[in-house]
Amino acid sequence: MTFGVLAATSSSINDVEPGVLAFLIVAGIGVVLVFLLRSMNKQFRKITPDPSADPAFAPGPRSGPGSGPGEDPVTGPGTPS
């Protein structure tokens, strides 16, 4: 009989529940994440791509692998078409 009472009281003592502090920490991390993502998007909008730096937009003949005669630029040399 006393064992049942002790078991009932000890289980309620060992129950662990999340508290207000844990919620506030997680909510704070979420708020910081939102501001970081907004700042990152603002920085990405400031970047202007330079079309002359991209070889796909460069005028004239291409040089490098996949640009020779009979070479497929997608699959590379030595592959059957």
pLDDT in tens, 21-79: 999 999 999 999 999 999 999 999 999 877 777 666 555 555 555 555 555 556 656 55
How far apart are the C-alpha atoms of 40 and 19, rounded to whole Å? Answer: 32
Phi-psi region of 16 (alpha: psi -120 to 50; beta: other; left: phi over 0): beta
> Please, what is the Cα angle at 68 between 80 and 66, to 5 degrees?
65
- The model carries a pTM of 0.44
DSSP letter at 51? G
The confidence score (pLDDT) of residue 65 equals 58
Asked whether residue 80 carries a pLDDT value surpassing 90, the answer given is: no
Confidence of residue 15 (pLDDT cuts 50, 70, 90): confident
The confidence score (pLDDT) of residue 52 equals 75
The confidence score (pLDDT) of residue 16 equals 78
